[in-house]
Structure formats: structure tokens, C-alpha cells
Structure 1
């Protein structure tokens, strides 16, 4: 009878550290930290009694991050840890004003760039030495395979990029600050703001061609002719809404420099990364680990009487491509992670065997970036060598986490200690897998409802719950002047002034879901409630609402800064909304039509 496999690093217990009673907590673990990209989150200004609050903040931040591409696709590359450091004082320094108290906290976090009158309020800084000291408590991580994020106990909007990222924990927009700041710290992306100090439009850009991959002085014609900047993406629908083109403003300058999208994560929190930023983030996430994780050692010649194998990483959205060549001739292996040399009719002598692993993601178009997502391993095969018996105990070594449901669109994986066939079954019924048996593409089965997925090797079985039930998105609007429902058409509402929209969702799996909406087919936008209150509904008006010199809720063409010259939002508009559950299932979009009448 098959036993249940237990993978040690998937059930690691919190490790008590000596530094100020800090506790390392594995939040989401996919593998050995030495073989993963590790996000280490350290809290600051949370007292011991406030640790449940810190955990709630982390849960929200991580859930939002993993719904955004490319983090969603590459979440199986990531380990997420927190370091809980109880603070004697609650809060962070200079929050919200320079006259506010200066707190004695483990990481020394503070607004106004660490309480500097020459800075801006939203700049939330951290003592990098203290942050590193606590992050070093997470065994197996180092500066080469991790990204540090400090979350401060505050409801004030703020954060920072640089080597390390920071974000406030409790603001309605806080969970969106994290991916933006990771865009800086991990991706090396720049702000697309057309201001530095809020409410003051930036001066015209006066420098030379920016080094930034998503800012340029070139026209679209020059980009194409020179094959420069974002020329490969020009003219395509932007993942953040609109079209990839050339939009004025960025790098804190109001004019004379251009960005690829009208609005994106680096311009306005709530929208997705556009394709240019997504490509860079894909490259940087992958660079923190290696898509070729291991396999048959190649430090010495091997015999031709054996199976040779490689261990790869496993994106949650698609399998990696693996090809094999013997003496330069490609073998027919159908993507298998192993090749049996005994079946290759190898002539006597020495030969060269090569395995190439490539990430075929459509997120990447630049050949130079694709090259960084390509790894090879080469062996010298000597037919005179006799391979000794492999005495390695057979077991699973890593897998998609089994402690949470997988979604209907996921690729689930299981790696073993040596090359052996992995058998897959859904609800007890075997499902044949040709070639690559380390990955199982759930989406190919078009499942609905709840199911059980198993991966088995002799004596061991891994089990996952498959959540193939879409969440249900619900909308509640404030009272309209009139409402009409026609068969087969979205409901229509008429308002004669500002109106509110509250989005909620229900699902069969516990956990915090994510809501999104878009107006008139623009980019999907994260529903966070309202900037000043996460529990308040979203407010739509014709001109938008100015909050701290940023504009929210402008119906129709968005107004992001007070000086944006866009038409008022009167007239007829289409609003779509949807939900994303913790397993990554996306609901069918609901739609309503609204007409905002002029006064």
C-alpha cells in the first residue's frame, strides 16, 4: 500500500531566533530555499499583542501580489517567509507628520524618509542593517536568492524601493504598494509619475535618452527603425489598459519624456504591470534562482547503460521546454526530463549528450532576455564505463504545495530523488501523461467543481485538492434614479450625481479573494474599497475625487493627477467586475451599464 510522502521543507516549523525573540515563519514554501527565490517579509512596529494584525497584513499583501503577473505564473519559484519581531512600541516614526512621535522599533522605520524635512511624507524608510540582520535568520537565504520587504505598522500610505522594499501594512492601498516597490527593488523599474511632490507637476525632462527600459525620448517610428526600447510591443493592447504606444510624462517630469502605457503599476497603483515591465520582472524573478535545478552529475564521464535526467523549475502557468541532443542530433523525447541511453543504440566510444531547458513564456520577446531563461547541461558519455547501482532512496523531493488547493488553470508538479515514472490520477482515475511526467496541466481537463489529484511513485503518494469552482462576484450600487433589466442584456442604471460601487465575492474555499473592475474596457483595476477606508465602497464621480493630490474614481477616461486634461465622465459607460479566489480561479465577469447625467 502506498504511503503518504512528507517533504521536510514543506512542513518546516517556525524557528526561534535569538535576536530580540524574533520568529521565522514559513508562509508559502515551494522548495529548498537554496533553490528558490525567497521573499522575506519583516514587520516593524507591531507589538507582541499586534502580531495577529501583522499576519493579516501579510496575508493580504501576498494574496494580491500572487494575482499579478508575472508573480502569478512564477509563484512556484517563490518561497515566502516572515520574520516576526515584537516591538516595544506600536507604530513607526513620524506617522503621519514630522511632529508625530519618533518610535523605538526594531527596524527603525519612519515616514518622511526617516523623519527628514527635506523628504516627502510617503517615503517610508528602514534601517537596512537591522532589516538584513533579521532576514539572515531565514536559513538558506542570502542576498543572491532573496528579496527583502519591510512592512510597517501604519495605515498611512507609503513605501520605498531601492535595494530593499518597504510598505505600510494597513492602508487600503498597502497591498498594492508592495508590487510597485518590488518593481523598483527587484525589477530596477522607475516611477512613471509626472510629479515628485504631489500636487506639483514635474518640470520638463531635460536629460539625454533615459537608461530606463520604460522611458524614452524616441518617437514610435524611431523605436521601430532603431529596434529600441519597447518597439517589440508597440500597437498591442496593454495589460494595464489602452494600447502600448507613447504617453508623455514620467521619471518625475511632466513633459518631454514618454512611457509605454497610459497607466500601469509603476504609474498608478491598482493597474497591472504592462508588458514592458512584466518582461523585466520575469527576467529578474528567474535570475534569483535557476530553471535547471539539478540532475545526473556531469563532473565526470558517464556510462551509456543508464537513464540520464534533469530537474527543472516549474512555472504554475506552463511547463518549461526540455530538449535532448546526442552528438548534436535531437532525440525524440517529447519533453521528457530524462533519457534512457540504453534505448539509443549508441556506438562504442565517447559521445556528447546535452539537455537544454528553455522557458517558452510569451511574457518575453527580447532574445537577450530569452537567453537568460535558457540553461544547458552537457555530459560526456563513454560506453566503456559501467554504471554502478543507484542506491539513492526513492522519494518525492519537491512539489507544488499540498497544504492548499490548486486551481483549474494550474500546472502541478512533483520531483523525485531519482528518475522514475510519476503516475497521475484525478479522483482515483489514472490520467496518462506523455513525455514530461513531472508536470500535470490541470487546465487540459477542463474541470469544474472539487476534485482530488494524486501523484504516485512506488511506496509514495502526494495528494492535492483541486478547486475548479469559480468564485462568484457580486456588486452593490447606491440608489439610482432609474434601473432597467432587459433579457439577455446587462442591467442599466441612471444616476444624476456621484454613486458608489461595493464589490464582494463568495467562494467554496476559505481565504481572502481579490476583486477587480474595469470601465469601458480599460485595464483591470484592483478593488480595494476606497483610499481612505478599505471597508468603504468605491466612489465614482464625473471629475474624480482628489485625495492627497491624487485623483480616484473618475468615471470614463481616468484622471490620475489633478492636471490631467480628460473629458468629464458624464454619459453612458460599461463597468465589468470579477473575482479571483485564493486558488487563482477567475470568475466570469459581471457587467452593468451606467449613465451619469449632467447636472
Structure 2
């Protein structure tokens, strides 16, 4: 197949990896010795066009030995698929070429990991925590030898500092990264794939941190400067932003893509007060959430600035005849097409084709001005100045007295959506043909062998009625054919929770911390991104637990503090947890949900009884806990005392009058249960009661719940305030019941 230049070299690079050994000076070493050179192999992962006309993401590893290169490949795949799941990277994926540089290190790991006592390591990129093993820095600052990274990046032909982004991954499970001219991240920390888009927000987007601290655990104090230059920080009130048309006034009041509502939230720029940001949490503040609209708009602008919206066009330097076709070759986002508008002598023509056959216009004799305007209609942008930056024009002088001599062009395609990777069910697939002077080549699209109506170079799969499953898509032109796999098999997600107090279907009740594990599946290879959100807040990347990707996420009322940050805080009450997955092609799985109701935990025990207990038991003071005990008689709880029964059996009945708290949890009661006048908490959950149940006059101020419990006898409830609730999990009442909402 004939491949037009400069794509011949590009195709060759796509088919074979380039092997090159380069000497690197280890600038971070304690001695003047030169580190041994590391061999490096360039592996193209995604090539959408000439590197000189694309934004090139180069992922390189450090501290990975020859035997650990498969680990680096898996780390890179993980990082890349997480990046593609986040807007605007997802929509503008085609603007990127992606290359992996496999660098063999003589030593495994990087310097000062996890602390300064580990010392420096001699690796090709000299990566190290603590800002390169600097005691005055912070542990999470992961730096590298920029010159060495630049040398390895230069192995990718056609790339240069102005059109590429370097992402260096360290062979480490320790949390860390850095932005600036080069982004770094640890390769396989549970949160490491989220560090990269945050740091690229710095190095590419010029975004600032929205943290309220610089050193974790140390309050940043009040902001004392003037109006920040940062586009996503301000001293202005919401009304001042609206009145003065400044900062994020166009987005105020919108639901934030990072959760909550775009507004004004205090803290940012490493200060805890006196400065405000647009969202409660975004990726520039809390790893796991998306960019909010304010940051997403900036990132869209910065990504687009790295490419030319019009990649090529009919030459404009000299007048052209009216007997030919004019053309422009725009960029191709993954989720939509750029619009092309033609005008002649200031009059706009209808349609948005990327070619214009001047012969169809019957232009009067003389010269005319023809203009093509290519614009990005994305809803990610509201600022007119940024919108203008996402618009490009080309203008020709057309002289009807000139005659065009056609120049031969080769058949087939110049560039396309990559064919080696499955495409998403709603993706806009493109196939760019050559541009002859005398006609507009047609593209014949077919799905599973059935011809589609489209004849231009863009096909919006979202407008095609696909059936679930995988499909074969082809584009044919002038005897050449491209083939893609269309992935319309959506990813699925399973959840696994720790054992609840009570549960039925997708409803659960807990009276303490609980864990959640999400597992994503897809029929195509590649890392599957999993997400969850609570009560309609922002979607949050599921990465396991901050200390290990193998551990489940833990929810608790106060949260868990790790390295001065709090994770998994969930207030007491009823919550809806949604979950979904995103596959490597970019398909979103169907969101599903479960509900959890969290109750007050039992009080701390002052007396604990285990094993067998003969006879009856009377609790007169304090908190008595029956921990999987077997009480042969009845249990009585006096005024002000508390009882916690966790499992086990009471072979008699249970009576409590004016107790402080009564918790009957996953226990069997052979007799009847009578509880009255409880003042603080009454919880009966997951239990089996053979006799009658009477609940009267309870004024439990913290919790009043009977949930997931089987009652074989009659059940009556009266004068309970607040009214008793089943917390979303129905009870099984086999006898007569006069308990309102507790009856199924």
C-alpha cells in the first residue's frame, strides 16, 4: 500500500519499535560517576497523525529492570485508561499520539523510597522522592533528571518540547508525583493513575492546586494577597463575579462535574481561608474526582492549542481557479465533529462539508474571496476568548480566469481513527482521504457488511442504531479499506460489601464502618476504570484504598485519616451509592445502585459476657454486652442501663424499661420482647424473635430502628417518638402486627 509522506515514516514506527541506547548523566548521584546507559525501546500505543501535527504524550518508566518491563507496561496501560476516562482527555483523545518508552534500569525502584534513609539509586532518569532526596522537601514530591527525560523523549521522531508532554512513572507503590515541565507519578500506588491527570493539569493547563495546605497536616492559614491570577481562585463574591463578568461567572449555579454546584468554596492556593475556588472538590483538590467545568474549559483550550485545528488545506498563497475543489483538513475529536463553514465574498454558504467544489457555484467572471471557518462547537467552552482560540480560518483568492492543472494524488487514506484499538459505541470515527483538485473522494461506510448512508470522512456511531455486541466497521475509498472493531458490549460492574446488620436485595443497614469493593469486567483487553458516587455527588474513581489497591474502600461516620487526609467519611443516615465502569474504548457501563442506611453504633461495653450463661440476667447500670453468648434464662434491663446483644441466644424473654440503649443485633430470642421508655437508642436488627414483641413509649433520640428482623408472635407498637423505622430493609412479621411502617 502506498503511504503518502510524512506518514510513511509514521507507519513504519507504528509497526516496529525503535531500539536505541543512550548515555545518561545521573545528575542526582552523590558522586561524579556516570550511570550505566539504559537501553530504551519506543512502543507506539496510539498514533492518530503526523507527530509534528499532534500533541504527543510520551510515557517513560524509571527504576524498572529488564524483568520488570511487563510491570511498566501494565502501569502505563492503567494510567492511560484512567486519563482517557476523564474529560476533556476523553473527548480529545484523537488530538494525542501516545508513545511508551521502555527504559531498562540496572536497579529496581527509585531514590529515597519511601523515606530519606533509603538513599539515592542509580537509575536512567534519577527519579527520587523528597524532591530528589532533599531533606528540606516533602516526601510526595517525585522529581527526575529533566535532561535525561528529554534525551529519551527525543527518540520519538517528530516530537519536540513544544508539542509533547512527558509523563515519567517511577517503579514504586509510594504515593507521589510532580507537575511543571515534566509530569511524574509513582507507577503502581493505588492512587497513582490519578496523580498523572492532576499533574498534567499543572504542566499543560497551568492550573493551581486547590489544597488548603502545602505540608499535609499543617493548616495553610489565611490568604493575604491580592486577586489571584489563577483562573480558578478568587477573592470576589459570587455577585461581584456576575456584576463584573469575571472569573467563573458564566458557570455559577451549574451542577459541577466534580459534584455539588459551581459556586464559591473557601480554601485553595495552599491557604485555608480568605480565597475561594469554584467547587467543593475537583481533581485539583481531591484525587478521584473529575475536573470541574472551570478547569475543564482551561484544559480544553490548552489541549487544542497544542495542535492546529486545520491540519492542512488547499494552498492559499497564490490565486486559484474556479474550476477546482477547495478543501480543509480539520482535527477530529472523538465525541463530535468540528464545523466547517464556507463563505464567498462575505456570503455564507449552507452545509458543513470540508470540501467545496467551486464549479458548483457558477461564479461570475473576476476575482472572489472564499473563506473556510473551522470551529469547535464543544459545550465545554463558554468564554468567547477561548471559543475564538478554538476557531481557525483559511482564505483563498479565486480568479475565474485561471485554469487548474490537476495534480495526481494517491488512492486510499491519509489518516484515520486508529484501527488497532476498539472504538466506542458513540464515537465519531474518521477516515481522511487524499484531496484531488478535480473531485471529492467518497467514503463508503459499512457496518457488519451493510452499507451506511454516510459518504464523507466522519461517521457518528452515536447516530447509528447498534445492537449490543461487537461489530465490524469498514471505510472504503478508491480501492483501499480500513477496518475497526466497534465495541458495543458495555462493561459491567459487581460490588461486594462487608456483612451488614441487615440486608435485602440492594438495600443494606450498618451500625458501624463497612467496606465496598468494585470489580469491573469487559470483553475487550485493557484496564477497566471503576467509579462510584454517593447521593448524586461527583463520580469518584474507585482505586481500592489509599494504602493498597487490593483493599476495599472503607466508609465510616468519621472517616479514616491517612497521612493527614480523611477518606470514606459518610454521615449517619440513608444513602444511595451508584457505581459503573468505563472500558478501554471509552464506553460507560450502565450505572446501578444500592442503598445503605448507617445507624448509631452500639456504646462501648463496661461488662462483656461470652459463652454460656446459666439462669437469668439483670442489667442495672453501665453497658452490658452479650458477645455471641447463650443465656439460658431471661434478660432484664433497668432504668438508665444499656444492653448490647451481638449474636447468640436468649432462651427466655427480654424486658427493658426506661433503659438508655437497647441493641439486639443478629440474635435469637426464644421468648417475648418488651421494650419501653428507651431514651437514647433502640436498634433491633437481623434478629429472630419467637415470641411477641411490644415496643411502647420509646423516645430514642439517636436511633429507633427495627430492621431485617423476623417476629413469629404478635407485634405491637405505641407512643414511640420518633416513630420506629425499618431503615429500608423490611421485617418478616408472621403474626398480627400493629406497627405501621415496620410491617412489610
| TM-score, normalised via structure 1 length | 0.94
| Structure 1 runs, 4 residues or longer, greater than 6 Å off | 3-7
Larger mean Cα displacement after TM superposition, 57-66 or 114-123: 114-123
1:107/1:98 Cα in 2 relative to 1: closer, same or farther (>3 Å)? same
Q: Any conservation in 2 of the 1:473–1:503 contact (CA below 8 Å)?
A: yes
Correspondence 1:216 to 2:234 = yes
Partner of 2:457: 438
Rounded Cα–Cα distance in structure 1 between residues aligned with 2:370 and 2:442: 21
Please tell me whether residue 595 in structure 1 is matched to residue 615 in structure 2: no
Deviation at 1:12, TM superposition (A): 3.6
- 2:441 pairs with 401, 406, 420, which one? 420
- 1:583 paired to 2:598: no
**Structure-1 residue corresponding to 2:533:** 518
Q: Secondary structure at the match of 2:161?
A: coil
**Mapping of residues 343-492 of structure 1, within 5 Å:** 343-418=360-435, 419-433=440-454, 437-447=456-466, 448-485=468-505, 491-492=506-507
Q: 1:72 aligns with which of 84, 90, 96?
A: 90
Residue 428 of structure 1: how far off its partner (Å): 1.6
Q: What secondary structure is seen at the aligned counterpart in 2 of 1:56?
A: helix
Structure 2 contact 77–526 (Cα < 8 Å) conserved: no
The number of equivalent residue pairs is: 576
SS of 2:395 mapped into structure 1: strand
Q: Deviations over 1:451-473 (max 9, x none)?
A: 11111101111111111121111
What does 1:66-215 align with in structure 2 at a 5 Å threshold? 66-215=84-233
Aligned partners of 1:443, 1:4: CA distance in 2, in Å?
A: 32
* Partners of 2:348 and 2:224 in 1: CA distance: 53
Task: Report the secondary structure of 2:388's partner residue.
Answer: helix
Measure, in 2, the Cα distance between the counterparts of 1:58 and 1:477: 30
For 2:473 and 2:75, the matched residues in 1 are separated by: 31
Equivalent position SS for 2:296: helix
Which has the higher mean CA deviation after the structures are superposed, 503-512 or 128-137? 503-512
- Asked if 1 retains the 8 angstrom alpha-carbon contact of 2:57 and 2:165, the reply is yes
Out of 13, 19, 26, the residue aligned to residue 16 of structure 2 is 13
Distance 2:326 2:453 in 1: 22
Give the match for residue 517 of structure 2.
502
**What is the Cα deviation at residue 109 of structure 1?**
0.9
Task: Please name the residue that 1:565 is paired with.
Answer: none
Pairwise CA distance, 1:246: 0.3
Matched position secondary structure for 1:22? strand
Structure 1 Cα separation of the partners of residues 489 and 42 of structure 2: 34
Show the 5 A alignment for 1:217-366: 217-332=235-350, 334-366=351-383
List per-residue Cα deviations over 1:54-96 (Å, max 9, x = no partner): 1111000000000100000000110111212111111111111
Bigger shift: residues 129-138 or 273-282:
129-138
Contact 1:4 1:460 in 2 (8 A): no
| Contact 2:2/2:410 (8 A) holds in 1 | no
Which runs of no fewer than 5 residues in structure 2 stay unpaired?
23-36, 602-744
**Maintained 8 Å contact 1:5/1:461:** no
Contact 1:503 1:515 in 2 (8 A): yes
Task: Summarize deviations over 1:297-353 as a string: whole Å, max 9, x none.
Answer: 112111111111110110001000000011111122x21110100110111111111
> CA-to-partner distance for each residue in 1:2-54, whole Å, 9 max, x for gaps?
x8999753534211123132211111111111111001112111111111111
Aligned twin of 2:554: 539
Secondary structure in structure 2 of the residue aligned to 1:412? strand
Residues in 1 aligned to 2:279 and 2:74: alpha-carbon distance in whole angstroms: 33
CA contact (8 A) 1:408 1:446 kept: no
Contact 1:40–1:80, Cα closer than 8 Å, also in 2: yes
- SS of the aligned residue for 1:508 comes to coil
CA displacement at 1:438 relative to structure 2: 1.4
Residue deviations 1:219-255 (CA, integer Å, cap 9, x gap): 0000001100000000000000000000000000010
Q: What corresponds to 2:714 in structure 1?
A: none
User: How far apart, CA to CA, are the structure 1 residues paired with 2:454 and 2:60?
Assistant: 42
- 1:94-141, Cα deviation, whole Å (9 max, x unpaired): 111111121001111111111111111000011111111111111100
SS in 2 for 1:241: coil
Whose RCO is larger (CA < 8 A, sep 6+)? 1
3-state SS, counterpart of residue 554 of structure 2: strand
Give the Cα separation in 1 of the matches to 2:47 and 2:545.
32
Q: 1:395, CA displacement in angstroms? A: 2.1
Could you say what secondary structure the match of 2:326 adopts? strand
Cα deviation for residue 449 of structure 1 reads 2.0
Which one is further off, 358-367 or 509-518? Answer: 509-518
| Residue-by-residue CA offset, 1:423-476 (whole Å, 9 max, x unaligned) | 211112221127xx1110000113132211111101111111111121111111
Q: Distance in 2 between matches of 1:492 and 1:197?
A: 40
Cα distance in 1 for partners of 2:3, 2:81 equals 27
1:551 to 563, 566, 569: 566
Give the distance between the partners of 1:586 and 1:23, measured in 2 at CA.
33
Quick one: distance in 2 between partners of 1:98 and 1:24?
32
User: Which structure is larger by alpha-carbon Rg, 1 or 2?
Assistant: 2
Gaps of 5+ in 1: 486-490, 556-568
- Matched residues in 1 for 2:235 and 2:87: separation? 27
TM-score (norm 2): 0.76
